Amino acid sequence: MLGSGARAREAFFDLVYEPRRDGEGAVVGIQMIGVETTQVKHAQGLMLEHQVLLEQIARQALLGDVLDGMARCIESLTQNDVRVSVLLADPDGAHLRHGAAPSLPDFYNQAIDGIAAGEGIGSCGAAAHRRGPVIVTDIATDPFWDDFRELAGKAGLAACWSTPIVARDGRLLGTFAMYHGVPRVPQESDFALARVFTGTAALAIERHHVELAKAAAEARARAAHEALAEAVRVEQKLRAEAEERAAAAAELAAQMRAAAVAQADSPHPEQCQLGGRAGCTAPVELKVTDSWGDSAWGCFIHAEEALFNVPSVFLASEESKGLAAYRNR
């Protein structure tokens, strides 16, 4: 550990010890050369973990799983007690939703879910608003945390560094935050970690958005296809009904022609009796009757109209003999 308190950091060194000799070859001292390898060590770990995340993204793993994995990876790469949170921006960029925070308590995640992006709304709301990093090294005294200080205290959080996650086109995608249990000032390696992982998170979130858009487009195409199929079904049904009606009309016309032939020799008036108040001067063609024995002679048009519109009307026919024949059976 180098340094102390808020500035303490873990460091790694390669140490080389060499004896110093005088002209006679006797050892007069030891030369020690230390080369710090912390960054190399971090970079190696980072590269391995990062590779795993990129493979997950390429495999189109669920966004929640990728972000969860990312959070756990950073927590394991960092020697200090760090807890990671990713919030996702609404499409309008005005609010932040829970994305991943596997090591933060549920009550904290629920309370943060839906916070506005705005100046002074914790580290994340401010980072989202500024589109730039917001480093709060001590939540207990930072005015940005006035509204969330008690909540953070309950969750055991003392510092929060937040970096916005931004798409290639500049859209806000979310925020990436590193929380600490004690007040802490970030080191250059922390910034490097944040840069790498906000880039990775941006990739994962943009990929997720593409998948959502694709799914929505597919759903729209399916809906359009179903609407078209329904329209075709309705059209077919209407055409079938129209064909049925046409067939029924043709059958009735044939029956009317046959009845007219059969009734031609019966005595009848000259003019249609079914023209109503307006009257009809067309010559009589056939006789219609109803079940009460009322009957009238009419032209084809008015006889047909009566057959359609009066439920009890039918074509008069001597051939069917009628009720008298039945009574006298």
Contacts with Zn ion, residue ranges (CB under 5 A): 272, 275, 280, 282, 299, 302
CA 329 to chain centre: 77
Positive/negative CA dihedral, 33, 36, 41, 43:
negative
CB of 224 to Zn ion, least distance (A): 51
State how far Cα 145 lies from the chain centre: 33
Closest CB to Zn ion among residues 189, 273: 273
Closer residue to Zn ion, CB minimum distance, 197 or 297: 297
38-58 vs 63-77: helix crossing angle, rounded to 10: 170
The CB-of-322 to Zn ion minimum distance in angstroms stands at: 25
* CA distances, 85 to each of 63, 202, 235, 246 (Å): 14, 14, 56, 71
Residue 247, H or E segment: helix 188-263
Residue 279 CB neighbour total at 10 angstroms:
10
> DSSP state, 225?
H
CA distances, 177 to each of 172, 183, 192, 278, 299 (Å): 15, 15, 13, 89, 91
In SS3 terms, 71-97 reads as: HHHHHHHCCCCEEEEEEEECCCCCEEE
Q: How far is the CB of 228 from Zn ion (least distance, A)?
A: 46
Residue 261: alpha-carbon gap to chain centroid: 71
Instruction: Give the whole-angstrom CA distance, residue 251 versus residue 10.
Output: 99
Cβ nearer to Zn ion, comparing 12 with 308: 308
Q: How far is CA 100 from the centre of its chain?
A: 19
Q: Give the shortest CB-277-to-Zn ion separation in angstroms.
A: 13
Pick 203 or 303: Cβ nearer Zn ion? 303
**What are the start-end ranges of the E strands in 246-321?**
286-290, 295-298, 313-315
**Nearer Cβ to Zn ion, position 8 or 280?**
280
Minimum distance, C-beta of residue 302 to Zn ion, in the bound complex (Å): 4
DSSP one-letter code for 15: E
- CB of residue 250 vs Zn ion: minimum separation in angstroms? 21
> Quick one: 155 or 272, whose CB is closer to Zn ion?
272
User: In the 8-state DSSP scheme, what is residue 273?
Assistant: S
Position closest to Zn ion via CB: 272
CB of 299 to Zn ion, least distance (A): 3
**Beta carbon of residue 253, minimum distance to Zn ion (angstroms, whole number):** 16
Query: Measured from the CB of residue 320, what is the shortest distance to Zn ion in angstroms?
Result: 24
Nearer to Zn ion, 309 or 328 (CB): 309
Tally of residues, the chain: 329
Q: Which residue lies nearer to Zn ion by CB, 19 or 269?
A: 269
> What letter does residue 147 receive in the DSSP assignment?
T
Closer Cβ to Zn ion, 192 or 280, answer by number:
280
